[in-house]
Structure formats: structure tokens, C-alpha cells
Structure 1
Amino acid sequence: MYARSTTVRGTPPAIDAGIDYVRETVMPTVRDMDGWVGLSMLCDRDTGRCIVTTAWADTDALHGSAGAVAAIRQRTAEILAGDAETEQWEIALLHRRRETHHGACARLIRADGDPDRLEQVLETIRTALLPRIEELPGFVSVSVLVDRDRGRLAAAVSYDSRLSMAEAERAGMSLREEFSGRTGTAITDVAAYDIALAHLRAPETV
């Protein structure tokens, strides 16, 4: 499976209007496209940064949808009052313990590494880290997106509430340090988001 993420560094007062547009216009548009398997929207209400991600069954669906979503992507950025940055990914890992509900949130970790070692990095996540991630307070799901050409990855760990995410942060920090040390991967960004929308019918990969 594959994904296209659009990051908009918008303004906090525009977030609710942006969520409404994605829910009422973007979602109905993409869910009827061939190969669509999901959409999520993460929002940081303090900074205005939002990330809308659509998931696709294969590369044909990913590339085939590109032209059709260009206009609504631009409109989303306009409503959020920011510029849009788009990235394409492979969904390397997806695991859910339960469905996402109102009040859920996520910590998004971005990292850069050696493209030639990416499979080793993913194996470390699956075998050494995932069992411990599942034990974090309020754990809901984890997904790992990768750009194999550049050796980049984005991992989102979602929780049932902000309180749970705060309780998990000390253990999460330790896991990130261990991950970076074991894999030689540089963590470039760690940020917390509210999960505004989560409509995923993508199957688990573990």
C-alpha cells in the first residue's frame, strides 16, 4: 500500500474550517476513486500545522489519483491559510489495537537514514520496538511510512487521549533513543497532533 501526505503550515484560527472542508469535500471525493483505502487528518492547534494523508492500494491508484486531487489539495491549503507540501510514501507497517475515537491524538516521528539499510530499520521496528509500543498507555495504533529512495520514514503512534500520550512520553523518548542508536537513523522531528479525521480500511501489515 502507498500514501500521499500533504502538510500545510496554516494558521490556528483556520483549522476548524479546514477540517470541515476535508470531511465534507475531500473525503467524499477520494473515497470513490479506484484503489482508495483511507484518509486521515492530523492537526496541531497551537501552530496551525495540519497533515492530510490519503492511502492507496497500489502505485497505480496512487499515481492515478494525483491529477484528480490537485485542485482540492490547493483549496485545502487556501482554507488553512498556508502552503502545501506533498510527499509520497510506501506504507511499510500498519497495526491497530482498536479504532480511533473522538479525543484521540498522535505523536509523529520523522527520521532520515541510509536507504540501503531501510529493511534492517523496519525489521528492528517490527521485532524489537513494536511489542513495547503496544504496551504504552492508551495505545491505539502505529503506522510507519517510508520513502525508500531517500531513506526517510515517518512513524505515527496514536493514543486514546492527550493524557495517555503524556503518560507514555518518557517511555516513548527512551524507545526513540534506542531506535536511533540501534539503526543509525537520525530523528529529525517529533510533534504531537490531534487526530481530526481517521477513515482507514487499509489492512494491517503485521
Structure 2
Amino acid sequence: MQHVQVNLLAADPARLGEAIRYLEEKTRPLLEDLVGSQGLSVSVNELGVAVIEEFWVSHDAMREHEKTVAPSRAEVARFSGGTISSERFAVGSFTRVGRTQPGAGMRLTRMDTDASRIDDVVAGYEDTALPWLTETPGFVAALLFIDRKTGRSISETRWDDFTTLDANRSAAAAIRADLVAATGSSIRAVEEYALLVDTAEPA
């Protein structure tokens, strides 16, 4: 099963551009040359927060290259004058109807669930959220990241632009409520970003 490392960079907004340049010029080539890497995506918001996702063919590949990639993450934090934290997940679901372009809108929904019900989250997500998503104008892709040990998950949806992202906020809230009711989950956070870089190839 494919895995992803989700890195949250909390930066000085005035220095975030410098960190993104480092990511594109140094981190991206390093990462994409490693066996088992399936690319990365970088999204930012106006507060100076960036989500950097590293995709891998397996958990073993991700773990094997940690010592190679970790110093680059530390440099990104240094360039940005901020801090970086990381979480690891399996990719539990992936649907794409198009390719995301720079400037695309991205919504992350972070959820907590009893670990014994994580399969219910995947099934509920695919039965409840995906049918609505694939019929909604502007939808590009959806991913569900899961951690079977902790019960944590992240639903990620990608949209053509912020206009379409804005237009579906109320409907997305209703879908979240349905999923929570069906799985006994709780919402930890809902975040929105602009996608800057996307070379990832989720399986």
C-alpha cells in the first residue's frame, strides 16, 4: 500500500517564498531520485503555513530514506524561520478526474476515529463523500490518508481553483457531518491551501 509523509511547515510568511524555492531546487530533485519515491506536493496559505507531502510506494521505502530526506526538511524550516512537524499515513483511498495545476484549491479535513473503526472510515468516505465529489463542478482529486494505529485520518480534496473551493464549502460541511455520524469520528481541523507544486503520482 502506498504511504505518504505529511509535513506541516509553520513559517514566517515573509520568508516562505525562500523556503519554497529551496524545496523546488534542492528537495524535489533529491526526493525524486530516490528508489520508491512517487513525488511530492506543496501547498500554502496566507498565514505562512505550508503542507509538504512526500509520496512513497510503501512504508518500508519511506522509512529507508528518512535519514536522506530529513536534513532537507530541516533546511526548509531554517530558510523559512519556522518549524516543521511530520505525520505518516497509508493512502487508504485515491480518486482523480484531472491533473491539478498551480493555484488549485486544496481542503484538508483532519479526523480522529477509534482505531478499530478505521476501515469504516474508508468505506464511509468512499460511499458518502466520493459520489458527491465526482459530481461536483471543479473537482479534481480526492485522497484519504489513514493511520491504523492511532485512528487519525486526513481527507484531502483538490479543486480547479479557489472559486470552486469556495462554492462548495456548505455542501462539504454537510458531507463531513454525515461521515462523522456514520463512523463515530470527530473533526480535528479543516484547512484550506493553494497548491503550488504537484509531482506526486498516488497509486
Shorter-chain-normalised TM-score: which range? over 0.9
In the alignment, does 2:31 pair up with 1:30? yes
Answer yes or no: is the 8 Å Cα contact 1:43–1:51 preserved in 2.
Answer: yes
Consecutive unaligned residues in structure 1, runs of 5 or more: none
Using structure 1 for the length normalisation, give the TM-score: 0.95
Q: Which residue of structure 2 lines up, in the alignment, with residue 48 of structure 1?
A: 48
Question: How many angstroms apart in 2 are the aligned matches of 1:91 and 1:53?
Answer: 12
Answer yes or no: is the 8 Å Cα contact 2:107–2:158 preserved in 1.
Answer: yes
In the alignment, does 2:157 pair up with 1:157? yes
In the alignment, does 2:29 pair up with 1:8? no
Question: How many angstroms apart in 2 are the aligned matches of 1:15 and 1:84?
Answer: 12
Consecutive unaligned residues in structure 2, runs of 5 or more: none
Answer yes or no: is the 8 Å Cα contact 1:137–1:167 preserved in 2.
Answer: no
Answer yes or no: is the 8 Å Cα contact 1:137–1:168 preserved in 2.
Answer: no
1:18-66 Cα offsets, whole Å, 9 max, x none, are 2211111110000010100120111112x11111110100122111110
In the alignment, does 2:114 pair up with 1:114? yes
The alpha carbon displacement at 1:183 in A equals 1.0
Question: How many angstroms apart in 1 are the aligned matches of 2:153 and 2:48?
Answer: 22
Question: How many angstroms apart in 2 are the aligned matches of 1:142 and 1:93?
Answer: 8
Matches within 5 A, 1:107-146: 107-146=107-146
Using structure 2 for the length normalisation, give the TM-score: 0.96
Question: How many angstroms apart in 2 are the aligned matches of 1:164 and 1:201?
Answer: 23
What is the total number of aligned residue pairs between the two structures? 202
Question: How many angstroms apart in 1 are the aligned matches of 2:102 and 2:43?
Answer: 13
RMSD: 1.0
The alpha carbon displacement at 1:201 in A equals 2.1
What is the percent sequence identity of the aligned residues?
25
